[in-house]
Chains A and B, each alone.
Chain A
Amino acid sequence: MEAKKETIPRQPMPEQPPEVRRRNFLEVPLGYTPELAMKEAERCLQCKKPSCMEGCPVSIDIPAFISLIKQGEFTKAVRKIWERNALPAVCGRVCPQEIQCEGNCVLGKKGQPVAIGNLERFVADWERAHGKGDLPPKAKPTGKKVAVVGSGPSGLTVAGDLILKGHDVTIFEAFHKPGGVLVYGIPEFRLPKEIVFSEVNFLERLGVKVECNVVVGRTITVDELFQEGFDAVFIGVGAGLPKFMGIPGENLIGVYSANEYLTRSNLMKAYLFPEYDTPIKKGKNVAVIGGGNVAMDAARTAMRLGADRVRIVYRRSREEMPARLAEIHHAEEEGIEFHLLTAPTRFLGDEHGRLVGMECIKMELGEPDASGRRSPVPIKDSKFEMECDLVVIAVGAGANPILTRSTEGLSLNKWGYIIADPETGKTTKKGVWAGGDIVTGQATVILAMGAGRKASDSIHKYLTWGW
Chain B
Amino acid sequence: MFEILRREELAGGSVVLNEISAPRIAKKAKPGQFVILKATETGERIPLTMAETDPKKGTITIIYQVVGKSTMLFKTLQVGDKFQDVIGPLGQPTHLEKVGNVICVGGGTGVAVLHPITRALKELGNNVTAIIGARTKDLLILEDKMKAASHRLFVCTDDGSYGHHGFVSDVLKDLLQKEDVKLVVAIGPVPMMKFCSQITKEYGVKTIVSLNAIMVDGTGMCGCCRVSIDGEIKFACVDGPEFDGHKVDFDELQKRLTSYGEEEKVAVEEFKRCACSA
Contact = CB atoms under 8 A, between A and B. Distances in A.
A260 B222 contact: yes
A251 B87 contact: no
Contacts of A75: none
A215 B259 CA distance: 27
A275 B226 CA distance: 27
B267 A279 contact: yes
Contacts of A214: 24
Contact of B216 (A251, A260, A277): A260
A121 interface: no
B54 to A, nearest CB: 17
A263 B219 CA distance: 13
B216 to A, nearest CB: 6
Contact of A401 (B38, B44, B220, B233): B220
Q: Which range holds the interface residue count of chain B?
A: 35 or more
Interface residues of A, number: 38
Nearest to B24: A219
Nearest to A277: B44
A176 B84 contact: yes
Contacts of B228: 251
A213 B45 CA distance: 12
Q: Chain B's interface: helix, strand, loop or mixed, by majority?
A: mixed
A105 to B, nearest CB: 37
Interface in A162-198: 174-176
Contact of B266 (A175, A244, A260, A274): A274
A330 interface: no
Interface in A340-355: 352-353
Given A253-B255, A274-B266, A353-B255, A263 B42 contact: no
B223 A244 contact: yes
A400 B219 contact: yes
Contact of B24 (A220, A260, A352, A400): A220
B258 interface: yes
B217 A279 contact: no
B211 interface: no
B87 A242 contact: no
A122 B129 CA distance: 69
Given A175-B217, A214-B24, A263-B217, A253 B256 contact: yes
Contacts of B192: none
Q: Lowest 3 A-B CB distances belong to which pairs?
A: A353-B255, A279-B263, A260-B222
Interface of A: 174-176, 212-215, 218-220, 240-242, 244, 250-251, 253, 256-257, 259-260, 263-264, 268-269, 273-279, 281, 352-353, 400-402
Given A176-B87, A402-B219, 9 more contacts: A176-B85, A213-B85, A215-B88, A244-B223, A253-B259, A273-B263, A277-B73, A281-B259, A352-B255
13 contacts: A215-B219, A218-B219, A219-B24, A219-B87, A250-B233, A257-B224, A259-B223, A260-B222, A260-B224, A268-B45, A274-B270, A278-B45, A352-B258
